[in-house]
Amino acid sequence: MSQHATPSSSDKSATEFDAIIVGAGVGGLYALHRLRGLGLKVGVFEAASDVGGTWYWNRYPGCRCDVESMEYSYSFSDELQQEWQWPERYGTQPEILRYVNHVADRFDLRRDIRFDTRVLAASFDSADNQWTLQTDRHGAVSAPFCIMATGNLSTPRVPDFAGLESFKGNWYHTGLWPHAGVDFTGQRVAVIGTGSSGVQSIPLIAAQAKHLHVFQRTANFTLPARNAALDPSAERRHKAEYAERRQAAFNTPFGISGHPPPVKSALEATREERDAAYEEKWAEGGSISFLYAYNDLLVNKAANDTAADFVRNKIRATVKDPAVAELLLPNDHPIGTKRLILDSNYYETYNRDNVTLVDARRAPIEAITPAGLRTTEAEYEFDAIVFATGFDAMTGALLEIDLHGTDGASLKDKWADGPRSNLGLMMAGFPNMFLITGPQSPSVKAQMILACEQHTDWIVDCLEHMKANGMARIETDQGAEDAWVAHNNEVANSTLYPQANSWYMGANIPGKPRIFMPYVGGFDRYKRTCDEIAAKGYEGFTLTPAKTRTLADA
């Protein structure tokens, strides 16, 4: 590696590393495990007090994964995947956090992680090929390589409502939930937001609160999760086939095994056939299975309408008050173009006497008041307000760090019109900095743990290649980055995804550039592209050998 990165690294001070990883969520932990395997001295810096990332912070009631437990786990260790037992079809937040902690302990990862430490800034010294990171607790730390495992949904966002500081009750954001939990018994509660976090938490908060008002700006599509205890015989079968299933998952568009790709258009089926197919998927539970009913649901609006109408009819059939049902009907985006939510008893919750749905599109929230909140139509009084208002997704965490690459160029300037990267792995002008599931990689459109593993494996192979060839620096070429961004946009524009005002598009943050951020060409196709680029000697990337320091460098 560079003249600074020696395999033994025994000469390094406490603040010098061979590689620094920012973040100890599922991505950062696996990166630490693999980089250690290269014999590198690795330092991980994590803002939270413990491991887990998303699963550390999102402790709201009802939080669970929308990918099935047997799939949503690490694939790198067969012992690990054989020994761990998931109790339910979909893992709850506490269960997944317990799993991540188990992984950290089993692979002895904690000793290299500095918790409660936020990385504030990072800059690259081109002469030395060295990243220096400023932290809020451990001063400056440096390494030739930097891996940003900062997550895609890790910057919670409370809208800029006037008067929040005046509110006399307690308020919470789903992504920053108190560790001790919250007891809403006897309270008048507001939930603002009906994305995945709102939809998961609303039934549980409603069951506790004296009265719950849900402020919905946009009705979303949600399907029944059909969560249940994991059937032990199904688990045994899955475990017996784990190796083949993981291999298969790497070769699917979503990184999830067990869903054969559909071959038929929804428009080729009769109405009766379609309804029977959707009914079967509805009963089965799960979003991929539903969207895989036909092969054109995400690319053809007429096909999509057939699935959307089916779900709208289910909402009408479930919600007893027709006016409430009408308000819950999603009508401004094709189904699946926003994250398709999985719920347990969401629509049924609106049949409770203690739940009121408020149309925050017709009457937007104007301000938080000392007693509650005010919309353009009415005043409300609450003891607690829950913001299920989402995240500055995909770019927020990186842009919160004052990042500077070659010649001091800042990431904020580079991404002023939207994120740009090559493969979501590297950014032109930021040598030796790798992103785990960065924008323009499949990331949130794939099984995230597998996506993290795939990125890390590519990075580790790349570092090994560099070491074997005496290279100290790698950076993506501007042309390769431009071509990848163009490809990313072209693929997205061939689908219905850009038709939704989603966080995938940056649409949930006022002023954020509208660009479709995840790669939707398929995880399988993406992985093949990454592998081909590596096989061609890192085509589109420039690798530079370690140079001997000369007086001119001093």
- Shortest Å distance, C-beta 517 to ligand N01: 12
Strands 42-45 and 113-114 turn out to be parallel
449 binds ligand N01 (CB under 6 A): no
**Residue selected from 193, 405, 438, 521 as contacting ligand N01 according to rule CB under 6 A:** 193
Q: Taking CB under 6 A as the criterion, which residues in 389-418 touch ligand N01? A: 389-391
- Residue 97 CB, shortest distance to ligand N01, in Å, is 13
Tokens of 411: 């990431």
The interface region with ligand N01, picked from 109-117, 197-205, 396-404, 427-435 by CB under 6 A, is 197-205
In the complex with ligand N01, which residue's Cβ is closer, 150 or 218? 218
Per the structure block, which two tokens stand in for 285? Answer: 């539970």
Please tell me what DSSP assigns to residue 260.
P
- Altogether, the residues listed in the chain come to a count of 554
Residue 194 binding ligand N01, by CB under 6 A: yes
Contact string (CB under 6 A) for ligand N01, positions 216-235, x = contact:
-xx-----------------
Taking CB positions, which residue lies at the least distance from ligand N01? 195
Q: Is 73 in the site for ligand N01 (CB under 6 A)?
A: no
Counting contacts by CB under 6 A, is residue 197 touching ligand N01?
yes
Residue with structure tokens 């406490």?
14
Give how far the C-alpha of residue 133 lies from the chain's centroid of Cα atoms, to the nearest Å: 24
Count the residues of the shown chain that bind ligand N01, applying the rule CB under 6 A.
Answer: 27
Question: Which ranges of 84-127 does DSSP label H, i.e. alpha helix?
Answer: 93-106
75 binds ligand N01 (CB under 6 A): no
Nearest to residue 336, comparing CAs of 226, 413, 223, 434? 223
CB of 235 to ligand N01, least distance (A): 21
| Per CB under 6 A, 329 contacts ligand N01 | no
Name which position in 57, 99, 215, 497 contacts ligand N01 (CB under 6 A): 215
User: Residue from 196, 337, 432, 441 that binds ligand N01 (CB under 6 A)?
Assistant: 196
Q: Restricting to residues 349-378, which ones interact with ligand N01 according to CB under 6 A?
A: 360, 365
Cβ contacts of 185 within 8 Å, gap of 6 or more: 208, 209, 210
d(CA 431, CA 429): 6
Q: Which stretch binds ligand N01 (CB under 6 A): 116-124, 212-220, 301-309, 316-324?
A: 212-220
| Angstrom distance (rounded) from CA 392 to CA 265 | 35
Cα dist from 202 to 59, 65, 174, 467, 536, whole Å: 14, 16, 11, 52, 51
Report if residue 25 touches ligand N01, rule: CB under 6 A: no
Contact 43, 20 (CB under 8 A): yes
> By the 8 A CB rule, do 131 and 361 touch?
no
* Residue ranges binding ligand N01 (CB under 6 A): 65-66, 153, 159, 174, 192-198, 200, 215, 217-218, 339, 342, 360, 365, 388-391, 444, 503, 508
